[in-house]
Amino acid sequence: MTLSAQGTERFNLWAPEAQSVTLLADGRHHPMARVVAAGPDAGAAAGAGADGWWAAPDAPATGEVDYGYLLDGDGTPLPDPRSRRQPEGVHSLSRTFDPSAHTWSEGQWAGRELKGAVIYELHLGTFTPEGTLDAAAGKLDYLVDLGVDIIELLPVNGFNGTHNWGYDGVLWYAVHEGYGGPAAYQRFVDAAHAAGLGVIQDVVYNHLGPSGNYLQRFGPYLKSGEGNTWGDSVNLDGPGSDVVRDYILDNAAMWLRDYRVDGLRLDAVHAFKDERAVHLLEDFGALADAVTAETGRPATMIAESDLNDPRLLYPRADNGYGLAGQWSDDFHHAVHVNVSGETTGYYEDFGSLEALAKVLKRGFFHDGSYSSFRGRHHGRPVDAARVHPSALVVCSQNHDQIGNRATGDRLSQSLGYGQLALAAVATLTSPFTPMLFMGEEYGAGTPWQFFTSHPEPELGKATAEGRIKEFERMGWDPAVVPDPQDPETFIRSKLDWSETGEGDHARLLDLYRALIALRRATPNLTGLGFAETAVDFSEADGWLLLRRGSTEVAMNFSAEPQQVTVAGASITLATDDGVRLAAGRLDLPGHSAAIISE
């Protein structure tokens, strides 16, 4: 069924198991009637209309309306599963929102492809002191000056409470009111495009948060007993899953069309439980192609996946899923180990320059190799003929890799300028699409910790206790784990923008600006494929040399000075004033890097 945003159909509801449904709109009760669909594919859902849809013929056809649904005589109205606004929170009435009311001023915005781009990941609540979309729009000039191309917003959909990471969302169509709601979201995207910046929205379709999730009251949105790490799995392949998948794909289309975002980052797709012949990820690929054809602007789908399965990137015509990109955590792990020396947990297999060299040349480290953390072989090789390196999104830090540490500590809280500069060079000169996490570019001294604001005391207590137990199992002192429910944990995680002009913070920020500008001006760093990528390294001496065409990137991960033989004759950029080049011999002080050209 295709639902219109106008007229009485805007209140249509899928509730296949309900015996009666009443729409409460502007304080009036409107009995709803079952919708009987016609045609060979109408189905025959017994006792619930042809496909379980309900309509309210006398509902308000226009105007802003506060509304909810009463199921089977229950006197408590439930919010709309497709609600665009929840001004009083996720347990309260929904409010209509007309996305066409916004007058877009983005001019000739033609979109932004992934290839050649630099992504900047940010969390709205901690990016600025105000924690709103309008406040974030006030920092766009800073991001333009930094040189990034695309902003990636952590989830913004409706959740219970005032602040959290965003992955506890329960109303996927609503923009969290504390961020400014849907109108502010449109203003932000409009302003970003006017500034020449793309926007990618992080979306979560693999689970729902613990508070305010009423979907199962309406229909079989979830599969009880078939859970993932976060709870019951979404029903992607069981009875009723046709409508559930439409619910997800319609939501994805909403971001791309109504809010004009340039792409979606699909959270934890390895948690999708889908045994249908056409996987949901393939549907996402098809949706992106359709929106691109419709708008003339690239619609980019990026999967977060720990499967190391390049089939997500292969064309649908080749039995792939046709996505534009996927994350490569292996790159993060290899860089993290080589700059920090940390080799516990899932870092164990990455304790060598050989691991980093393999990732740079092949995209994944675990491409069918044995993973000691998993206790089995993992991944498969990337077909270099079908995948450009830019399809892999990489980072040296991100919200998960920082926030899921016991104290939420960044690299900048334990490493010096030289090691932070090495991480920056490795990420921004890699063959892949680099992503920065907010504050990384100036070595933010603030942590980014796990924070929640569950209003329910029992849920807040369970969350805090679960966090402590999780890190006890990993060998951390529970005393150092901050209470996620403590408001100070959230406040500590906000960026301190005064740091950008101070000492090594300012020095590192200048380096990031220079690296991004050099990346944009150097086709060898963004245009070449896997076949044109070569890596030499010395495990004993601690240096690695990345060659991309005639551009060479030399990195000394050792604390001791090293000498590296290079082909180029000119130093384009160096992270240390002590770098010297003469007669093909490059002298690198400890923890330094240089980019060499012909």
Mean pLDDT of 518-545: 97
265: exposed, middle or buried (Cβ count in 10 Å: 0-12, 13-18, 19+)? buried
Task: Determine whether the annotation assigns residue 403 to a binding site.
Answer: yes
Rounded Cα distance between 553 and 543, Å, is 11
Task: Map residue 424 onto helix, strand or coil.
Answer: helix
272 is in an annotated binding site: no
Q: What's the pLDDT score for residue 367?
A: 98
- How many Cα atoms sit within 13 Å of 81 on the Cβ side? 22
Do 121 and 154 form a contact (C-beta atoms < 8 A)? yes
Q: In this predicted structure, what is the pLDDT of residue 37?
A: 64
Q: What whole-number distance in Å separates Cα of residue 156 and Cα of residue 573? A: 38
Domain covering 530-597: architecture: Sandwich (2.60)
118 annotated to a ligand binding site: no
pLDDT (0 to 100) of residue 477: 77
Our answer to whether residue 477 is catalytic in this structure is no
Least confident of 47-51, 177-181, 264-268, 569-573: 47-51
**Which of the following is catalytic: 121, 149, 304, 440?**
304
Which residues, in sequence order, are bridge partners of residue 456? none
Q: Is 401 annotated as a binding residue?
A: yes
pLDDT attached to residue 99: 96
Residue 399 in marked binding region: yes
Residue 45 has pLDDT above 80, yes or no: no
At 426 the three-state DSSP class reads: helix
**Average pLDDT rounded to a whole number, residues 130-137:** 98
The catalytic residue among 267, 283, 440, 499 is: 267
**Whole-number pLDDT of residue 358:** 98
Q: Where are the beta strands (DSSP E) in 214-299?
A: 222-228, 231-234, 263-266
Question: Looking at residue 4, what is its pLDDT?
Answer: 37
Predicted pLDDT of residue 470: 76
333 a known binding residue? yes
Per the annotation, does 193 bind a ligand?
no
For the segment 479-502, what is each residue's pLDDT rounded down to a tens digit? 889 999 999 999 999 999 999 999
Separation of alpha carbons 393 and 422, rounded Å? 18
pLDDT band at 9 (very low <50, low <70, confident <90, very high): confident
pLDDT interval class at 463 (50, 70, 90): confident
Please say if 246 is a catalytic residue.
Answer: no
Q: Are 253 and 291 in contact (CB under 8 A)?
A: yes
Q: How confident is the model at residue 50 (pLDDT cuts 50, 70, 90)?
A: low
> CA–CA separation, 109 vs 84, rounded Å?
25
536 is in an annotated binding site: no
In this predicted structure, which of 34-38, 379-383, 556-560 has the lowest mean pLDDT? 34-38
Grouping H, G, I as helix, E, B as strand and the rest as coil, residue 411 is helix
Q: How far is CA 63 from CA 6, 11, 306, 563, in A?
A: 10, 13, 45, 71
Tens-digit pLDDT profile for residues 329-358: 999 999 999 999 999 989 999 999 999 999
Domain chopping of the chain, boundaries:
530-597
* Cα gap 436→193, rounded to integer Å: 19
What's the rounded Cα separation, in Å, for the pair 254 and 61? Answer: 21
Q: How many CB atoms lie within 10 A of CB 42?
A: 13
Nearest-angstrom CA–CA distance, 466 and 469: 5
400 marked ligand binding residue: yes
Answer yes or no: is 269 a known binding residue.
yes
Q: Give the residue among 218, 195, 180, 200 at the shortest CA–CA distance from 15.
A: 218
Could you tell me the two tokens for 479?
């005393």
The tokens for 332 are 């993060």
CA distances from 266 to 2, 284, 416 (A): 24, 9, 34
How many other CB atoms are found less than 10 A from the CB of residue 540? 8
Q: Is the pLDDT of residue 233 over 60?
A: yes
Q: Is 330 assigned to a binding site?
A: yes
Closest to 155 measured CA to CA, from 115, 193, 203: 203
Whether the CB-CB separation of 540 and 352 falls below 8 Å is answered with: no
Q: Are 94 and 44 in contact (CB under 8 A)?
A: no
